[in-house]
Amino acid sequence: MNTPDRLPPIDPAAWTEAQRGCADEIIAGPRGALISPFVPLLRSPELCTHAQRMGEYLRYRSAIGLRLSELAILVTASHWDQQVEWSIHVPIALREGIAESVITAIAEQRTPMFARADERIVCAVSQQSLQHKRVDDTTWAAACAQLGEQGVVDLTGIVGYYTMLSIVMNAAQTPPPPQCRQRLPARG
């Protein structure tokens, strides 16, 4: 689907002082650039600043680590049909060791066959949170045993954070970066 970007990049020369401060913080951080999710959010610089700080923690320093964070991000992106997050995070997930067969199943909104117990529980918590708006007792107990309480809180934070980004970018019709080739399949 080719839809117009409702909130395209703002010319840096037109940024307000608050927008410039927010953008500079993002660029100076581990992302190194004002990447797609923050383009529409820059219209609300205070929200964008808080969101990028939360995202920086969840993506780069969460208690569950990068491999499992990337898995949760892909489950969330697939749930929301969010092409930007999907296209950015598939290559990272592959690099971090998430199997291609797992990524394909997630893209097709199927439950993958996992070789690793930690990936199985991260997927279950993420899917239940998104599909049922809660996590059942058995899955919760298994997640706490596998990831610890901080890990489960960080995991649910990742799902919530990427849900917020997905909703914003879906509403804004933010296109994936042209250099990112991974796409979710079209769904009817």
Q: What is the pLDDT of residues 64-116, one digit of tens each?
A: 999 999 999 999 999 999 999 999 999 999 999 999 999 999 999 999 999 99
pLDDT at position 186: 81
Q: For the chain, what is the mean pLDDT? A: 96
> Distance (Å, rounded) from C-alpha 23 to C-alpha 177?
18
How many domains is the chain built from? 2
Same domain, 111 and 50: no
Positions of the chain with pLDDT lower than 50, given as ranges: none
Q: Are 48 and 38 in contact (CB under 8 A)?
A: yes
* pTM of the predicted protein model: 0.95
52 with 88, same domain: the answer is no
Same domain, 128 and 36: no
pLDDT of residue 188: 64
Q: What is the pLDDT of residue 159?
A: 98
Query: And the tokens for 121?
Result: 């529980």
For the chain, the three-class secondary structure string (H helix, E strand, C coil) is CCCCCCCCCCCHHHCCHHHHHHHHHHHHCCCCCCCCCHHHHCCCHHHHHHHHHHHHHHHHCCCCHHHHHHHHHHHHHHHCCCHHHHHHHHHHHHHCCCCHHHHHHHHCCCCCCCCCHHHHHHHHHHHHHHHHCCCCHHHHHHHHHHHHHHHHHHHHHHHHHHHHHHHHHHHHCCCCCCCCCCCCCCCC
Distance between CA atoms of residues 96 and 55, nearest Å? 18
- Residue 180: predicted pLDDT: 75
Residues 55 and 124 in one domain: no
> What gap in Å lies between CA 138 and CA 103, rounded to an integer?
25
* 152: containing domain: 65-172
**Judgement on whether residues 75 and 150 belong to the same structural domain of the protein:** yes
